[in-house]
Structure 1
Amino acid sequence: MSDDWRNNPRLAGMDRSKLDMLQNLAAQGSTKGVNDMMPFLMNAAAQGKKGGLNFNADEISAIIDVLKMGKSPQEIQKLDKVINLMKMMH
């Protein structure tokens, strides 16, 4: 997987430990289908909290935008559904 997403200007001010966690997630998530993303992201969020990493609303928005990069319109639509389900659960 390319590291191009790390150059996204919306992530420029994000803490290094958060970016490192995202790099790990990006590597693991690149093999996941859209249908597997919800449990994967839920687990990642739980692990992040356990490790003391909390993301603010702007960081979460930027991460979602990065996740959508290079995806087809259909994949983006499915990802939006997963994200909306996650929001409803919290």
Structure 2
Amino acid sequence: MEENWQDNPRLAGMDRSKLDLLQQMAQQGAGKSPSDLLPFIMNAASQGRNAGLHFNPQEINTIIEVLKMGKSPQERAKLDKVVNLMKMMK
């Protein structure tokens, strides 16, 4: 993930505590394999809920699009696969 992803204008209206959680996730998730990514994201989402943070669908879609920026087509496809798996698990 780009180091300055938090400066992306698409995230401008997002609560600072949510951005801080995302920054923590980005640091901890860097370099994880696709097979490790799904459990990591699920755990991070659980931690966010326990901290009282709830992301609405628009925020989630924006975060996913920002995460895809600067990624190769293969990396984008992997991210789409993880997102689809998460949707199926709901």
Question: TM exceeds 0.5?
Answer: yes
For 1:51, the aligned partner's letter is: A
- RMSD over aligned CA atoms reads 1.3
Q: Structure 1 residues 68, 89: CA separation in 2 closer, same or farther (over 3 Å shift)? A: same
Identity %: 66
| TM-score normalised according to structure 2 size | 0.91
Q: Where does structure 2 lack aligned partners over 5 or more consecutive residues?
A: none
| TM-score normalised according to structure 1 size | 0.91
Partner of 1:23: 23
Partner of 1:76: 76
Question: How many matched pairs?
Answer: 90
Tell me how far apart the structure 1 counterparts of residues 77 and 30 of structure 2 sit (CA, whole Å). 17
For 1:13, the aligned partner's letter is: G
For 1:18, the aligned partner's letter is: K
Tell me how far apart the structure 1 counterparts of residues 67 and 18 of structure 2 sit (CA, whole Å). 15
Structure 1 residue 3: Cα displacement: 2.6
Other structure's SS at 1:14 match: coil
Structure 1 residue 2: Cα displacement: 4.4
Tell me how far apart the structure 1 counterparts of residues 67 and 37 of structure 2 sit (CA, whole Å). 11
Tell me how far apart the structure 2 counterparts of residues 41 and 67 of structure 1 sit (CA, whole Å). 13
Q: Where does structure 1 lack aligned partners over 5 or more consecutive residues?
A: none
Structure 1 residue 69: Cα displacement: 2.0
Structure 1 residue 70: Cα displacement: 2.2
Structure 1 residue 33: Cα displacement: 2.1
